[in-house]
Chain A
Amino acid sequence: MDIAQLVQKAKRGNDEAFEQLISSVRHKLYRTAYSYVRNEQDALDIYQETIYKAYTSLKKLKKPESFQSWIIKILVFKSIDFIRKESRHFSTGDEELFVELISKESTDYIDQSMDLSEAFKFLDPKYKTIILLRYYHDLSIKEIANMMNYPEGTVKSYLSRAQKQLRPILKEGYFYE
């Protein structure tokens, strides 16, 4: 059944329809939450809060066909809020270490095996959000701009700054944009 019809059914209180909707985005939602907090427990908490919020506010969803981007937006905001509240996942210490890492001329300093998930951990949450929405959720720059209420220019500059931040760690041009 099509997403919009499922949303209409779920809005009328059909839990099975709601479960179907969630199962269509389950993996993406969890992995996005995990990308922010890097641990299962916190990712599960964010996931649960997102589902709660989606269930209680589904009636307010005006365009049923945009269910997926609507719930991703809830999750992204919950994740950012979580990081802000906890502020333990991206402490100033991390940021300083990161600046130190990228300012080193010698790439030997950086562990050869440092993988993307490690590098990604150091990114500022706002860049993380843009990268996830753009490359993982495949949203266009325009869609991200609408979702986050940023001008497109801001999205583009965040993207390019995020890519610049990732590049020295990854040593290779990671994104081809």
Chain B
Amino acid sequence: MNKEKFIHSIDNIDIPVEKLVARERMAMFEAKKKIRKGTKSSILIACGICLTLIGSGFVVPQMNHVLAKMPIIGELFSYFKDSVGENLAASQLVQEINQRAVSNGVGVTVNGVYYDGGRISVTFKVDHFRPKSKEFWYDVKIADGSDKWERGAQYDGRVTSEGFVGQILIDYPNKNLPQHLTLPLTFTSMNDIKGKWRFDIPIQQLDNKKVSIRQLVQSNDKAQKVNFETMTIGKGSAVIDYTAIHSLIGKSDLARIEKVTDDKGKEIDVLSSGIEFGRKKVDNWMESEERSIIAKIPDNTKFLMIFPYVREYEHDATHSLSEPAFKMHSTRNDVTLTVEQMEQSKNELTIQYTLDHVDTNLSLGEIKNFGENLNLIDSSQIGKDRPSIGHIVKGSTVKVLDKDKLQFQATFKLGGEYGIDDFSLENYSLEAPFSILLPEKTLPPIKVNLK
């Protein structure tokens, strides 16, 4: 038994095509309705229907009722599986606020905020809202709506027994963490109801402790370095700030934190790894200022161990198929691919190849996977971001010929829906994704004393 049988077992699942097409139409219809309503309701917004009530003094009786039914803050975090929020709520460190805005008859109340280390959470509840769908979703603009805020945000919305609740989690997008800020939030839709619910939320960072790390670790070949700078230890989470330094050949490499353990060897969850603040070239290096956020460090922890790693990248290599046998090289290590022979039939091209100098830590499966990701590409399309359909065959079926010598046979389907229109060995090249054979580089762990 093998992978083919697994695929076969899934491919045996019957496809209810008509039902699927009907569902597609329904989904598109609902989606279009949502988008269309957006453009129409802007006139209503301009009429000044929006109303923001701040503080309970403005709360009408109806709203008091709404607030009374609101789940308590701690429960909200358990809906969202936010352990940081749950911990903070248990210590009464979540700032409770009641800012309500109404638009198109729907009320949105921001009821809780926390800003711990580098993470901000805003929770809210929606009232007078009767969507047709059993789902709840919304659109919101954070601050100026720029990419950096979008990238670092996670949105959740739940339908609970007590109504519609949502959470926006934001990794603060700048390196410097201010102690307090006013965060503008503008909701622009609640399911298919468009509107404008605008809030300016005053946020205070919870007390934290800064720990200077000042440790630089590097890979054995010194091509990658991570300079750990500081930790900001909040009440329910902690921030690790560092600069990843890559040699220019690895300017797109990614430095990440694999795990963090406490003094008892217990893992602390990494909540966000590799929040990047921008890359810049410094002499012959590419420097990237980054941050990772981890969950709460247990009280009385004496030290932490941080385990960094680097994922390397290189451009896919190509070689013309016009030669009957040839060799291709990785630009990042010594791996070579030697094409020994090729056989072309009407609908297939079979290539026999051997790999040399492959990292011994890679499994046969991973090495085989490299072959499954070989492409045949029209030589005139090399370098294009998106080669046209009919000018590329993506992937092959790989047979292991000799697992000790790492000799394989890759078979490419030239015909069919994803085939090549007019294949010839003269005009086509083999494209090899050597990145797959670059093992992750583990950097030495660092020890951070907290006491």
The answer on a CB contact under 8 Å between B10 and A140 is no
The answer on a CB contact under 8 Å between B386 and A30 is no
Complex: chain B residue closest to A152, CB-CB: B440
The reply to whether the CB of A102 lies closer than 8 angstroms to some CB of chain B is no
Complex: chain A residue closest to B81, CB-CB: A84
In the docked arrangement, what's the CA distance between A152 and B366, Å? 11
The answer on a CB contact under 8 Å between B16 and A52 is no
The answer on a CB contact under 8 Å between B365 and A56 is no
Which stretch from A87-95, A103-111, A167-175 is at the chain B interface? A167-175
The answer on a CB contact under 8 Å between A177 and B1 is no
- Complex contacts, B9 vs chain A, CB 8 Å: 115-117, 120
The answer on a CB contact under 8 Å between A177 and B436 is no
The answer on a CB contact under 8 Å between B15 and A174 is no
The reply to whether the CB of A127 lies closer than 8 angstroms to some CB of chain B is no
Which residues of B in the span 437-451 have a Cβ within 8 Å of any Cβ on A?
A: 440
Count B interface residues, CB 8 Å: 50
The reply to whether the CB of A61 lies closer than 8 angstroms to some CB of chain B is no
Q: How far is the CB of A27 from chain B (nearest CB, A)?
A: 5
The reply to whether the CB of A101 lies closer than 8 angstroms to some CB of chain B is no
Q: How far is the CB of A154 from chain B (nearest CB, A)?
A: 8
The answer on a CB contact under 8 Å between A35 and B436 is no
The answer on a CB contact under 8 Å between B256 and A51 is no
The reply to whether the CB of A161 lies closer than 8 angstroms to some CB of chain B is no
The reply to whether the CB of B340 lies closer than 8 angstroms to some CB of chain A is no
The answer on a CB contact under 8 Å between B27 and A49 is yes
The answer on a CB contact under 8 Å between B23 and A145 is no
In the docked arrangement, what's the CA distance between A19 and B27, Å? 11
The reply to whether the CB of B435 lies closer than 8 angstroms to some CB of chain A is yes
The answer on a CB contact under 8 Å between B2 and A51 is no
- Complex contacts, B3 vs chain A, CB 8 Å: 135, 175-176
Contact status of A19 and B16, CB under 8 A, knowing A174-B2, A175-B3, A177-B363: no
Contact with B along A38-52 (1 / 0, CB 8 A): 001000100111111
Residue from A117, A142, A156 with most neighbouring chain B CB atoms (10 Å): A142
In the docked arrangement, what's the CA distance between A27 and B387, Å? 24
The reply to whether the CB of B373 lies closer than 8 angstroms to some CB of chain A is yes
In the docked arrangement, what's the CA distance between A173 and B6, Å? 12
Q: How far is the CB of B377 from chain A (nearest CB, A)?
A: 13
The reply to whether the CB of A34 lies closer than 8 angstroms to some CB of chain B is yes
Complex: chain A residue closest to B392, CB-CB: A2
- Complex contacts, B32 vs chain A, CB 8 Å: 55
**Other-chain contact of B440, A1, A44, A64, A151 (Cβ < 8 Å):** A151
Which residues of B in the span 322-368 have a Cβ within 8 Å of any Cβ on A?
A: 363-366, 368
- Complex contacts, B311 vs chain A, CB 8 Å: 142, 145, 152
The answer on a CB contact under 8 Å between A35 and B27 is no
In the docked arrangement, what's the CA distance between A48 and B31, Å? 11
The answer on a CB contact under 8 Å between B1 and A51 is no
Count A interface residues, CB 8 Å: 53
Complex: chain B residue closest to A15, CB-CB: B28
Contact status of A44 and B24, CB under 8 A, knowing A55-B31, A116-B9: no
- Complex contacts, B372 vs chain A, CB 8 Å: 138, 140
Complex: chain A residue closest to B395, CB-CB: A138
The answer on a CB contact under 8 Å between B258 and A44 is no
Which residues of A in the span 12-30 have a Cβ within 8 Å of any Cβ on B?
A: 15, 18-19, 22, 26-27, 30
Contact status of A35 and B388, CB under 8 A, knowing A49-B135, A55-B31, A56-B34: no
The answer on a CB contact under 8 Å between A27 and B389 is no
The answer on a CB contact under 8 Å between A136 and B389 is no
- Complex contacts, A56 vs chain B, CB 8 Å: 31, 34-35
**Other-chain contact of A51, B23, B273, B395 (Cβ < 8 Å):** B23
In the docked arrangement, what's the CA distance between A27 and B28, Å? 18
The answer on a CB contact under 8 Å between B23 and A4 is no
The answer on a CB contact under 8 Å between A140 and B373 is yes
The answer on a CB contact under 8 Å between A34 and B13 is yes
- Complex contacts, B17 vs chain A, CB 8 Å: 26
Residue from B10, B15, B34 with most neighbouring chain A CB atoms (10 Å): B10
Which residues of A in the span 143-177 have a Cβ within 8 Å of any Cβ on B?
A: 145, 149, 151-153, 156, 170, 172-177
Contact with A along B6-30 (1 / 0, CB 8 A): 1101111101110110011011101
- A-B contacts besides A2-B389, A26-B15, A151-B256, 4 pairs, CB < 8 Å: A31-B13, A136-B6, A140-B436, A151-B440
Task: Give residues in A with beta carbon < 8 Å to B.
Answer: 1-5, 15, 18-19, 22, 26-27, 30-32, 34-35, 40, 44, 47-52, 55-56, 64-65, 115-117, 120, 131-132, 135-136, 138, 140-142, 145, 149, 151-153, 156, 170, 172-177
Could you list some 24 contacts between A and B, CB below 8 A?
A1-B389, A2-B386, A2-B387, A30-B20, A44-B16, A48-B23, A48-B27, A49-B27, A51-B24, A116-B9, A132-B10, A135-B3, A138-B395, A140-B369, A142-B435, A145-B311, A151-B256, A152-B440, A170-B1, A174-B1, A174-B6, A175-B2, A175-B6, A177-B363
